[in-house]
Amino acid sequence: MQRKESLQNDPEVKNTATVNTIKVEEDKEPMNKLIDYYSEWHKLKRAVAWILKLKRTLQQLKDERKELSRTIIQAEKDPEKQRSKLEHHMKKYKSTSEKKPLTLDDLVAAESEIIKFSQRQQFNEELQALQKGKQVSRNSQLFRLDPILQDSILRVGGRLNKVTGKVGEQKMANLPEDRLLPDKPPFTNTGVDFFGPLM
């Protein structure tokens, strides 16, 4: 008993213990990790394109396995033989599948996915409003740009598609159709406006 009291009075002995804990939360989305990892736009786009290609390949393998499984179960009753046939067919299917390089379409799709992700991060409320067929809030920084949804991507609306301008607020009009030449390159027809007398 005396020893216990002497320990309590001893300044060298601590009566309380302090425990420090650190909680690490990994809630970062995979796309964010890719954006942080790749410093160049082209490299990021290629990485995302390969991931999307792998996703499509895995989906095709899953669908093929499901279809084969259904066919084999109808033809074969023994579970061991079913499993063996399925593995044999899947191995054959994988070996005959072409391993293609990235195409332009793959890169375009990857770019589209990166843009969609970035827009969801920055303009989620605006996207939700437009998906419901509503206008974006007047407090939004995109309000004056007349945003529209096209292929699930936010784009700036046409100049006079939504004429809601106030008096004194200028909005440029779309070009007349007779000035649009889709089959000819830019600057096929040009003009120069001179001001002042010419010598």
Q: 67-102 pLDDT, tens per residue?
A: 888 888 887 788 888 888 888 888 887 777 777 888
- Select from 104, 122, 140 the last residue of a domain: 122
Region 178-184: what's the mean pLDDT? 70
Instruction: Please state, in angstroms and rounded to a whole number, the distance separating the CA atoms of residues 30 and 114.
Output: 11
Residues 113 and 110: their CA atoms lie apart, in Å, by: 5
Full residue range of the structural domain in which residue 97 is found: 28-122
Number of neighbouring beta carbons within 10 Å of residue 174: 11
Which of 58-62, 115-119, 166-170 is predicted with the least confidence, judged by mean pLDDT?
Answer: 166-170
Residues 142 and 111 in one domain: no
Q: Is residue 146 part of a domain?
A: yes
91 within a domain of the structure (yes/no): yes
Q: Are 48 and 110 in contact (CB under 8 A)?
A: yes
Q: Which residue has the tokens 């490299």?
A: 43
Beta strand pairing call for 153-156 and 147-150: antiparallel
DSSP structure string for 36-68: HH--SHHHHHHHHHHHHHHHHHHHHHHHHHHHH
pLDDT of residue 169: 57
Give the global pTM. Answer: 0.56
User: Do the domain assignments include residue 19?
Assistant: no
Shared-domain flag, residues 39 and 86? yes
- For the chain, the domain total comes to 2
The pLDDT value recorded for residue 88 is 81
Residue 189 lies inside a defined structural domain of this protein: no
Record the tokens describing residue 129, joined without a space.
């409003």
**100, 152: one domain:** no
Which pLDDT band holds residue 190 (cuts at 50, 70, 90)?
A: confident
Same domain, 87 and 117: yes
Residue 183 in any domain: the answer is: no
Structure tokens at 149: 């949804």
Q: Give the count of alpha carbons within 13 A of 86, CB side only.
A: 23
137 shares its domain with 114: no
The percent of residues above 90 in pLDDT, for the chain, comes to: 13
Tell me if 100 is assigned to some domain: yes
Q: Are residues 86 and 46 in the same domain?
A: yes
Give yes or no: residues 87 and 156 share one domain.
no
67 against 5, higher pLDDT: 67
User: Is there a domain that residue 180 lies in?
Assistant: no
Place of tokens 């089959």: 183
Are 112 and 139 in the same domain?
no
- The stretch 162-187 carries a mean pLDDT of 63
The yes-or-no verdict on residue 48 having pLDDT over 90 is yes
pLDDT at 155 over 90: no
**Cα-to-chain-centroid distance, residue 199:** 59
Q: What is the pLDDT of residue 39?
A: 83
Residue 81 belongs to a domain? yes
Least-confidence region, from 3-12, 78-87, 88-97, 163-172: 163-172
Kindly state whether residues 94 and 129 are assigned to the same domain. no
Residues belonging to the chain = 199
- Asked if residue 140 and residue 87 are part of one domain, the reply reads no
My answer on whether 37 and 113 are in the same domain is yes
Query: What was the pLDDT predicted at 5?
Result: 58
Same domain, 117 and 36: yes
